[in-house]
Structure 1
Amino acid sequence: MNQDEEQMRRLIEEWAAAVHRGDLAAVVRDRADDLVVYDVPPPYEGLCGLDAYRAVWPGFFAWQSSGAEFTLDVTAGRDVAYAHALLRCGTPEELAERPALRLRLTLGLRKQGGRWVVAHEPHSFPELSSPPEPSSS
């Protein structure tokens, strides 16, 4: 594993740990100011910028605290700045109903000021009749 791949893997693993803790500051720490996110819940046209990204997390944290799982298996490109993962993301009931369900995550990274930052973050579920969505409460 080269040094860049190690840095990307650490960045992603720290992000996942921050998501588990509900630590908003750590979740947004390694994101570019002009980040573009295509997420599972609306808005389907995507989010642009750190403020918009920061605003969606409280609802997800509340949903996750209800017992949802969020696990991460990462594969990082060796010579390119991207990573992808399949995540088990759902409440225990949702995961029991659809045990093979995985959220797809791709991270596009760029080096900025000597460190890797995430600049693009699309999430998706395979075609489903009703993908689980975090509550907005």
Structure 2
Amino acid sequence: MTEHDEKQIRDLMAVRAQAMTSRDAETLAGQYAPDVVAFTLAPPLVHHGEDLEARKAWFATFDGPIEYEIRDLKVTVGGDIAFSHALNRLSTTPKGMPQPFELWFRSTVCFRKGDDGWRITHVHDSTPFYMDGSMSAALDLKP
């Protein structure tokens, strides 16, 4: 692992967080490799490739500001492959709702380095769920 590669990935993730808060779908889409596979919080179970129009439509489902935080980011680099994991916070107001929600979730992001720099090849976001029989997402957890 080189410090330069780790810094590039940390910078990419900082740009990602900023793009979320500014609803910049084009910047987000530009971070992905064409063959990205993503397991996001929103359906369906798996996304193949980045769908710019779907990303724009997703941003349009929220009123007001979007807050997005990446906490405790850890980066591991091995040659031209890297991964990161972090706890992320999303807070915003869905259209038609009277107040915002806040959600902490887990995120693992994988990268591949090519001639054009580091690109995201895989994203896996998840929330834990209560195993008390309710099968409810544990949306109240905070780090």
Task: Output the TM-score relative to the length of structure 2.
Answer: 0.74
Question: Which protein is richer in helix relative to its size?
Answer: 1
* Superposition map of 1:12-91 within 5 A: 12-44=13-45, 46-51=46-51, 54-73=52-71, 74-79=73-78, 81-91=82-92
Task: Output the TM-score relative to the length of structure 1.
Answer: 0.77
The letter of the residue matching 2:50 is L
> Which one of the candidate residues 87, 94, 112 is aligned to 2:101?
94
Runs of 4+ in 1 over 4 A off after TM superposition: none
- Give 5+ residue unaligned stretches, structure 2: 93-98, 131-135
* Identity within the alignment, %: 27
Once the 2 structures are TM-superposed, how far is the Cα of residue 11 of structure 1 from its aligned partner? 0.7
Q: Which residue of 2 aligns with 1:7?
A: 8
Question: Which protein is richer in strand relative to its size?
Answer: 2
Find the aligned partners of 1:55 and 1:42 in 2 and give their Cα distance.
Answer: 15
Higher relative contact order (CA 8 A, sep 6+): 1
Find the aligned partners of 1:104 and 1:55 in 2 and give their Cα distance.
Answer: 25
**Larger-Rg structure:** 2
Are the aligned partners of 2:32 and 2:50 in contact in 1 as well (CA < 8 Å)? yes
Find the aligned partners of 2:138 and 2:67 in 1 and give their Cα distance.
Answer: 15
Are the aligned partners of 1:34 and 1:119 in contact in 2 as well (CA < 8 Å)? yes
| Matched position secondary structure for 2:101 | helix
Once the 2 structures are TM-superposed, how far is the Cα of residue 76 of structure 1 from its aligned partner? 1.1
Find the aligned partners of 1:102 and 1:108 in 2 and give their Cα distance.
Answer: 20
Count of aligned pairs between the two proteins: 124
Find the aligned partners of 1:59 and 1:124 in 2 and give their Cα distance.
Answer: 21
Q: Which residue of 1 aligns with 2:133?
A: none
Once the 2 structures are TM-superposed, how far is the Cα of residue 87 of structure 1 from its aligned partner? 1.1
